[in-house]
Amino acid sequence: MVFSSITFLFYFLPIVLLIYYIVPNKFKNLVLLIASFGFYFYGEPIYVLLMAFSIISTYIFGRLIDKAEDKKQAKSYLILAIIISIGLLVYFKYTDFIIQNINLWLANKIDLIHVILPIGISFYTFQMVSYLVDVYRGEAKVQKNILKLATYVSLFPQLIAGPIVRYTTIEEQLEKREYTVENFSLGVRRFVLGLGKKVLIANVLGEVVNVFLASSEKSVLFYWIYAIAAMLQIYFDFSGYSDMAIGLGKMFGFEFLENFNYPYIATSITDFWRRWHISLSSWFRDYVYIPLGGNRVSKLKWIRNIMIVWFLTGLWHGAAWNFIMWGVYFGILLILEKAFLSKYIQKLPKVVNIILTNFIVMISFIIFNGNGINQILENIGGLFGVKNIPLVSTESIYYFKSYLIVIILAIIGATPIFKKIATSTKIEKIINLIEPIYLICILIICTSYIIDGSFNPFLYFRF
C-alpha cells in the first residue's frame, strides 16, 4: 500500500483516524501499532514476521545494553545487535548482488537466491540501529514497553519511505502528545501538498523519463529534457513522500523533522547535502563519520572516512554498481570541494554557484538512474552531442512542447518562491481564505489521476 493509492486515501487512512481519535489516549499507541502492522501486511504479508523479529531483537538488546555491568559488556551487546540487524539487511538486500559479483570471477557459477526485498527494510533497520547506539551512549532512555518501541519502529507514516526518524526525536511523544485542530489541519495541508508533488509533478515527469529511455530517436535536446526531468522527478517524488509522512505524523500528534530544504538552491555540494535527504546524511554523519574520527584525524584518514561514508550511502540506495558509483562520485566531489575548491567557490556569484551545483547534481542523477556504465556514459555524452546525434528531432520537440509547462512549474516549485509569496503579509490573508479551496482541488485532481490509472511508480521499493 502506498500513500498515493485509493485504498490508502479513502479506506485505510479515514478508518484509522476515526478509530484513533475515538479511543482513549492510553490506547492510541496500540491503534497505531495495529494499523502499522496492517499497513505493512497489506504489501508484505510474510515480512511482517521479519519486522516483528527485528523489533523483539532490538527490544531485548536495548534492555541488555541498559542493564550491562560495564561499558565493555554493553559494547558487546551493541555489536551483536548491530550484526544481527545489518546482517538481515545485507541478506535480504545484497545477497544476489554479492553472488553476481563473485560469479564474475568463478568458472562454476553460484545460483542466485532471488531474495525478495522487504519494503522499507533500509529505513527501519537504520532506526533500530540509531536507537541502540543512542541507548549505549546514554543519549536515549531504554524503552521498557515493547509496544511503544514497536510503535516507533513500525509507525506507518514513515515506515516505507522515511524520513529516518530517530527515537530521540519522538521519545517523549510516544509517552504524551498534543492533539489540536491547528496541528491536524497543518498535517492535512502538508499531506495534500505532498500528494500533489508526487502525483501531479513527479509522476508526470516520470512519464517523459520512461519515454526517453524507450526511445530510439535521441537528440541533444532530448538528453537534456531527460536529465532535467529525472532530477526533478526524484526530488518531487522523494520530498513529496516526506511531506506526506510529516503531514500524517502531525495528524497523529507526532512532530517529525524536515527531510528536505530546497536542495536545488544549494550553492555547493556541501550545501546540497545539508538540504537533501537530511535524515540520511545526518544519520551517516552521527553513526559512521564521527565514530570513524570525522575530520579530527590526519588528511589521509579524513579522506578514508568520507569515502567510506559515501560508498555506504550509495550502497544503501540499492544493490547495484550505479548506486555505488553515485555515492563515490559525491565523496570525491566533497573531498575536492572541502580541500581545494571552497575558497574559489566563495568568490563566485551566488547564481553561478547554484547553476554549477545543479549541473553536478544533474549528472549525479544520470548515474543514479543508469543501467550499466555504457548507458550512463551514453546519457552523459548525449548532453554534449557525442556520437554525432542531432541537436533536435521531431520527437524531442514534441515532448519539449508537451512537458515544458510542467518542467517550468517544477523548477519554480523546487525554490522557496511560492513559500515567500504565501507568507507575504500583503496577501497572506487572501492565501488563508483560498487555501482550503485549492487543497480540495489538488486532492480531487490527484484522485482523478490515480483512478485513471496514470503512471504511479513506487521509487522506494529498492531502498
Residues identified as active-site: 317
* CA distances (Å), origin 358, targets 210, 264, 399, 406: 22, 6, 22, 18
Cell 521499493 -> residue? 461
* Burial class of 229 by CB neighbour count within 10 A (0 to 12, 13 to 18, 19+): buried
